[in-house]
A and B are shown apart, each in its own frame.
Chain A
Amino acid sequence: MPFIKDILKHRSLAVAGMEKNTGKTECLNYILERIESKTLKIAVTSIGVDGESTDIVTSTSKPEIIIKEGIYYATAEKFFKTRELVSEIVDLDYYSTAAGRVVTSLAHSAGKVILAGPSESSALKSWMNRLGRERGIEHFIVDGALSRVSQASPAICDALILATGASLSISVNTLVSKTIHLTELIKLPATESLSETKADNLPNGIYSINGSEVVTLFSGSVFNIDGESLKIIAKESSIYLCGVLSDRFIERVKCLKEINIKNLIIKDFTRIFLSPENMIWLDHIGIRLEVVKSSNLLAICVNPVSPSGYTLDSAQVCDLIAERSGIAVYDIYRLRDEIKKCY
């Protein structure tokens, strides 16, 4: 029973897919099937709509989310009306999704559901806090939907499981390198120079960090930074970039004569949009990337089958990713077979 006991070490877990059809739902079902729901209080939600039986985009069949008795689940009012299990409503969130208010209920029987909870970070945070406080829920499992790696932000969840697979690329090399690239971003170390609370209060811009002193060097969107400000920034040794770190920004830094930056701090890995080449360049000139909120990557799940039916060599992909990332990698198909055996 891989990674289940690791999940229980954390209050919240996000299951994020790098692409559609990477087996995220399979992975979620695997967890929900195995997790102990009689003694532990567990709530599951999705930051998008998930659990529909046919994929809207590719028209291929999709696994449905199966909830067993004793699990709390969040769904929108519209989907709650179509539930097929006995559910006790425990919370009604007036934060609305496109399909109505969010209804959280406790399953009194097993059944299939469509998950749809709060999709904004702040609403999700307050939902988790409220259920924790009022219902004593100890563990939250958050399903990220449709290439929304950025929404399953570690700013919300303490731990992460990444789903990757043939739908991302049917070339083993591309699939492995893309996955490894993201894994490296997720594994970026947490900074010691800036606390989360301090960073949360800063608006978009660039700041120099000197001990406990935070000085604003540039305010506003980093995309609009002017050449003069950039020169000043490059002279500092430790800077916090609040916003998105893009390839364009790095290309402009590359052109400067004088670069003293040693530490470049970003809020979390979802704010980094850098090519592997630029990552290597940063490493080469001695700029260390750090994040304010680091993520705990528990496992990587691979779906070797693409939506068009092409199947990759599962063992090869898993081994390559595991070897290069140092993270446990599981084939979603093998897990699926295990689930089938249980029924």
Chain B
Amino acid sequence: MINTLETASPVSKRYFLDSSFLKDPEEITREYSAINETVKDIHKSGSTVNLIFSYISDLKEILGTIEKLSSGDTLDDVELFEIKSFAFISEAISNSIHPLNILIPRVESMKQVIEILDPDRSGSKSFYIFDSYSEELARIRRELNLNPGNTSLYNSSLLLEHQIRERICSELKVFGKNIRDNYLKIIKLDILISKARQIIKQKLCIPEISKEMISFKSLFNPEVEFYLLQNGKEFQRTDIDLTNGVLLITGSNMGGKSVLLKTLALSQILCHFTLGIPSERAKIMLFDSVSLLTGDDQNTKTGYSSFSSEIIRINDTICRLKKGERLLALIDEPARSTNPAEGSALAESLINILSEIGTVSVVTTHYSVTTERCRRKRVKGIIDNKMDYSLVDEQGYEVPKEAINIARVLGADNEWIDNAEKIFNERKHI
């Protein structure tokens, strides 16, 4: 999602990557309203937005130069060129931003800065110590052209140029803060427009910030959907509601449980960075952090088995929750890599603890967990040889037994699977 956020200037992308995980609901709501208005503006006055976006594409990293100017240093020609180019970008944006919504940062005019750096009023962004800055300089340069190589003339021209630079910089210094403010506003504007464009392009939605629930209508995973579409397939979207407490999801293998957890984590993080959410409608609660425990962290180098590394990570989550951290806990098949008798006990106990703490959490499992302290959903599973990924309410404790079937669909060796089925059926009768 970050890679598909296309800012006009690479500078803004860097600022976005450096931005922090927002937690303040008001700040997030305010930010999303501005994005919402930008989306509307793109639909209403797309050409204006495109024009502004193209101006921003010339924006370069010049904060160092601005700081130098503000601190009273004398800039060299290259740095003055940077300031002048920036002033022209500001001016162009400020002149065209009026049709857009008031929530969008107002870039101010830099006319006075341009007047200092463009003494000939040429309207060109190029810069040097122009002849028009000083009659004496112009005279010396004319003489130099007639006597090329005259060192004393050349040195006095350099001295004069330096004095002019000092004068210009002291005149510009008072605008230091305005230039800096404008610079940051333009970066903000760039990020805003690129977020809005991403929402339109990838059909994302702007979430509503809620205090008590997380709810998605037609949630999808943009990455998985992209690969499926490439192969001419479609991503089956999911509706899901979460409140404080544990939601236990069961279902056959390959039922999309892990993808669902990853998508929930992604959407949550996107919300804290005020990016569009991959669903049709979304309500999101805010947390301090997201704890997504999925995959196998077995590491032969550190000596951690699948089981031990998983226990360490789950334990870390529990400790953080107990300390009062507000976490969205998304745990994929806890204690999966040990025997079912103890594994299911560990899973059940975890559900009890999470429910006790009361945070929003989603746990998936293949174990038959009997605790009452969670809501239950099940992936519909294979119907007519086709996987239905939608979630349905589950009342009983039994989990689907479709592993052998799925292994067969995957084309596993017949002897192996037939024999497994036989063993399974014999055990059922015992």
- Seen from chain A, the residues whose Cβ lies within 8 Å of a Cβ on chain B are 77, 80-81, 84, 86-90, 92, 94, 101, 103, 105-106, 108-111
| Residues of B133-190 whose CB lies within 8 A of A | 141, 144-145, 148, 154, 157
Chain B contributes a number of interface residues (CB within 8 A of A) equal to 19
Q: Is the CB of B78 within 8 A of A89?
A: yes
Cβ-neighbour of B126 out of A77, A84, A94, A106 (below 8 A): A106
Bound Cα distance from A94 to B11, whole angstroms: 11
The listed residue with most A CB atoms (<10 A of its CB), out of B76, B81, B85, is B81
Given contacts A81-B76, A84-B154, A109 and B144 within 8 Å (CB-CB): yes
Bound Cα distance from A84 to B161, whole angstroms: 13
Q: Is the CB of B60 within 8 A of A94?
A: yes
Question: What's the minimum C-beta distance from B332 to chain A, rounded to whole angstroms?
Answer: 37
Residue contacts A-B, CB under 8 angstroms, 10 given: A77-B78, A80-B78, A86-B157, A89-B78, A90-B125, A92-B81, A92-B85, A106-B126, A109-B144, A109-B148
- Cβ of B310 within 8 Å of any chain A Cβ, yes or no, is no
- Cβ of B333 within 8 Å of any chain A Cβ, yes or no, is no
Question: What's the minimum C-beta distance from A97 to chain B, rounded to whole angstroms?
Answer: 14
- Cβ of B41 within 8 Å of any chain A Cβ, yes or no, is no
Bound Cα distance from A90 to B84, whole angstroms: 11
Q: Is the CB of A89 within 8 A of B141?
A: no
Which residues of chain B are near A106, meaning CB under 8 Å? 126
Cβ-neighbour of B145 out of A90, A94, A109 (below 8 A): A109
Further pairs besides A92-B78, A106-B126, A109-B145: 13, Cβ < 8 Å: A77-B78, A80-B77, A86-B141, A86-B157, A87-B128, A89-B126, A89-B127, A90-B124, A90-B125, A92-B85, A94-B60, A109-B141, A111-B148
Which residues of chain A are near B85, meaning CB under 8 Å? 92
Question: What's the minimum C-beta distance from A285 to chain B, rounded to whole angstroms?
Answer: 44
Counting from the closest, the 6 A-B pairs by CB-CB distance are A88-B128, A90-B126, A89-B81, A88-B126, A89-B127, A94-B60
Which residues of chain A are near B126, meaning CB under 8 Å? 88-90, 106
Given contacts A84-B154, A109-B144, A109-B145, A92 and B128 within 8 Å (CB-CB): no
Given contacts A80-B78, A92-B85, A94-B60, A110 and B148 within 8 Å (CB-CB): yes
Which residues of chain B are near A77, meaning CB under 8 Å? 78
Bound Cα distance from A80 to B60, whole angstroms: 19
Which residues of chain B are near A88, meaning CB under 8 Å? 126-128
Bound Cα distance from A111 to B150, whole angstroms: 12
Which residues of chain A are near B82, meaning CB under 8 Å? 92
Which residues of chain B are near A81, meaning CB under 8 Å? 76
Q: Is the CB of B60 within 8 A of A92?
A: yes
The listed residue with most B CB atoms (<10 A of its CB), out of A89, A103, A106, A108, is A89
Which residues of chain A are near B128, meaning CB under 8 Å? 86-89, 105, 108
Question: What's the minimum C-beta distance from A150 to chain B, rounded to whole angstroms?
Answer: 29
Bound Cα distance from A19 to B7, whole angstroms: 44
